[in-house]
């Protein structure tokens, strides 16, 4: 039985600016909300600290600019530097990225779990049978199921037709949604409470068991007694200006759980002075870089009508990429349109006939994450490998072929150095002869991994198989930063299942029981 959407009652900081609990959880996204609920279910007293605001259903904005300002980290100004600059999209609100993602649910691929199991020192660290049980629970809790056919929208059904014409497999997307109205606004926070994001489900349930959740609370550093972590120092932020208002401290009787993402988790540990104790902090960063290909059709597509994402194909995942249909509002879709000025406006006048399909690469490149010196913020260095760019070229060509097979009259490839418009499959053949440079394709990353990887010792990673930082009792990291590799599929489901595994191990280690 799925959890009904519930109103979230937040904690109000007292005048002394202090709270104390068994566990302090930093972050309220897929990992933080899940580990908080599971520890509360086990009988622990839990405090959750979230840097971003709580955005109730009735306050969710329809325009992209308000969403970016309020719910996206750094207002979408953060990015990866390397051979090219690429945006990094992260939610920064109560519920984390579950508030602003497309609700796509993919089980941890079995081949990935087996790959992890063969890594030195990780035999049995991610037991697949146990993770499957957790994934089954999550699917039941969050009402996971296929997008109804009458809510798919034409953007998705055209992609399905293009794949069928080319003879490869795909599927209707499974999502944690109930009662989808097809408003195409998942990325702004569902205005109908149909997307069962964790601010509507796991967090209210945890509060019902005694957990306390603070919004607009930015953790600045961890605190220690010797090597043992016993709390955090934070600052309460003004919800509009994001400037600090006053300090806040949370003491942890049993442990601090950092669940702040593959970017913020390692950097919080470094800012807490742990760079020497944990020399691999921020290493092994990887992601799923990707972008989209647009096509113009003779008949209306109306991307604003239908589920944000409703059809996908993992047929080519063994080759390193996955395909998805994605509905975007004009403010975001415009990045896939070539030209400027009058030429751009002429193309946007036909926006109702435009389809947009994307790909994500299971990258084999590795980068680093560090705090930005002096200025603050996060410094991400990552360059897709030569192999990654070859996969991207293959995916772009295939999406173009699918567009024409589905009846597109022209395709916008979005590759610098190629024609703005391609009018037939013959125009795609140039991609067979190209060695794409990262600077030619506007790719972005929304699935982030590594940086606090699980390993047998601190010379190769950050946390042990109990999710505790090596040599630092009471400090745990539980999010996709501990993943030894990326997945090649959307990660929310895997993050939540691994968080349940971590919660069991942490509770057992701390002898928590109801």
Q: What is the 3-state secondary structure (H, E, C) of 18-85?
A: EEEEEEEEECCCHHHHHHHHHHHHCCCCEEEECCCCCCCHHHCCCCHHHHHHHHEHHHHCCEEECCCC
**Residue closest to 147 by CA, chosen among 169, 99, 186, 179:** 179
Q: How far apart are CA 145 and CA 218, in angstroms?
A: 35
Left, alpha or beta for 58 (phi > 0: left; psi -120 to 50: alpha)? alpha
Among this protein's residues, is 447 annotated catalytic?
A: yes
Q: Do 175 and 190 meet the contact criterion of CB atoms below 8 Å apart? A: no
> What token pair was written down for 424?
């037939």
For 450, left (φ over 0), alpha (ψ -120 to 50), or beta? left
Residue with tokens 């990353």: 445
**What's 270-293 look like in SS3?**
HHCCCCCCCCCCCCCEEEEEEEEE
Cα–Cα nearest to 32, from 98, 131, 124: 98
- Whether 40 and 512 have beta carbons less than 8 Å apart is answered as no
Q: Are 250 and 232 in contact (CB under 8 A)?
A: yes
- Which residue among 54, 230, 315, 447 is the active-site one? 447
Residue 237, CA distances (Å) to 20, 42, 49, 86, 100 in order: 20, 31, 12, 28, 21
> Please, what sign has the CA dihedral across residues 361, 362, 364, 367?
positive
Residue 241 token pair = 């200006």
Pairing of strands 46-49, 79-81: unpaired
- Parallel/antiparallel/unpaired status of strands 46-49 and 18-26: parallel
> Which is nearest to 292 in space by CA: 404, 136, 398, 146?
398
Q: Where are the alpha helices (DSSP H) in 104-184?
A: 110-117, 128-141, 154-166
Query: Distance (Å, rounded) from C-alpha 153 to C-alpha 102?
Result: 14
Nearest to 505, CA basis, from 227, 130, 117, 208 = 130
Q: Which residues contact 76 (CB under 8 A, 6 or more apart)?
A: 68, 87, 89
Q: Which residues contact 94 (CB under 8 A, 6 or more apart)?
A: 8, 10, 28, 50, 52, 53, 54, 55, 199, 203, 213, 215
**Catalytic residue annotation:** 447
């Amino acid at each position: 039985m799925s959890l009904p959407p519930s109103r979230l009652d937040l904690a109000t900081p007292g005048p002394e600016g202090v709270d104390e609990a068994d566990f302090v959880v930093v972050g309220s996204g897929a990992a933080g909300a899940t580990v908080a609920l599971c520890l509360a279910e086990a009988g622990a007293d839990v405090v959750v600290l979230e840097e971003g605001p709580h955005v109730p259903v009735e306050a969710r904005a329809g325009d992209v600019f308000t969403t970016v300002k309020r719910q996206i980290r750094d207002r979408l100004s953060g990015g990866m530097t390397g051979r090219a600059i690429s945006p990094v999209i992260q939610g920064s609100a109560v519920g984390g990225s579950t508030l602003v993602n497309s609700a796509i649910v993919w089980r941890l691929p079995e081949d990935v779990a087996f790959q992890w199991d063969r890594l030195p020192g990780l035999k049995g660290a991610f037991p697949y049978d146990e993770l499957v049980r957790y994934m089954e629970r999550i699917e039941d809790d969050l009402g996971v199921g296929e997008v109804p056919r009458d809510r798919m929208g034409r953007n998705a059904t055209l992609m399905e037709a293009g794949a069928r014409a080319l003879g490869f497999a795909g599927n209707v997307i499974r999502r944690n949604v109930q009662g989808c109205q097809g408003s195409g606004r998942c990325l702004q926070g569902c205005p109908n409470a149909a997307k069962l994001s964790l601010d509507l489900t796991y967090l209210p349930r945890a509060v019902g068991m005694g957990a306390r959740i603070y919004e607009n609370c930015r953790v600045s550093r961890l605190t220690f007694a010797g090597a043992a972590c016993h709390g955090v120092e934070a600052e309460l932020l003004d919800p509009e200006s994001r400037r600090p208002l006053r300090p806040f401290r949370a003491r942890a009787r049993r442990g601090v759980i950092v669940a702040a993402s593959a970017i913020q988790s390692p950097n919080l540990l470094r800012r807490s002075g742990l760079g020497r104790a944990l020399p691999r902090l921020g290493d092994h960063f990887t992601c799923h870089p990707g972008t989209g290909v647009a096509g113009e059709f003779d008949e209306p597509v109306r991307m604003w009508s239908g589920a944000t994402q409703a059809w996908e194909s993992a047929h080519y995942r063994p080759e390193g990429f996955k395909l998805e249909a994605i509905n975007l509002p004009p403010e975001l879709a415009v990045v896939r349109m070539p030209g400027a000025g009058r030429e751009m406006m002429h193309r946007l006048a036909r926006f109702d006939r435009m389809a947009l399909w994307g790909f994500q690469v299971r990258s084999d490149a590795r980068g680093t994450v560090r705090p930005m010196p002096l200025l603050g913020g996060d410094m991400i260095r990552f360059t897709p490998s030569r192999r990654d760019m070859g996969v991207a070229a293959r995916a772009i060509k295939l999406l173009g072929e699918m567009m024409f097979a589905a009846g597109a009259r022209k395709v916008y490839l979005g590759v610098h150095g190629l024609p703005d418009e391609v009018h037939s499959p013959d125009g795609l053949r140039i991609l067979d002869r190209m060695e794409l440079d990262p600077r030619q394709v506007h790719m972005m990353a929304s699935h982030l991994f590594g940086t606090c990887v699980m390993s047998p010792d601190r010379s190769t990673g950050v946390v042990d198989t109990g999710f505790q930082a090596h040599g630092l009792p009471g400090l745990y990291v539980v999010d996709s930063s501990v993943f030894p590799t990326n997945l090649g599929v959307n990660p929310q489901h895997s993050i939540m299942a691994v968080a349940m595994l971590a919660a069991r191990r942490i509770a057992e280690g701390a002898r928590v029981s109801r």
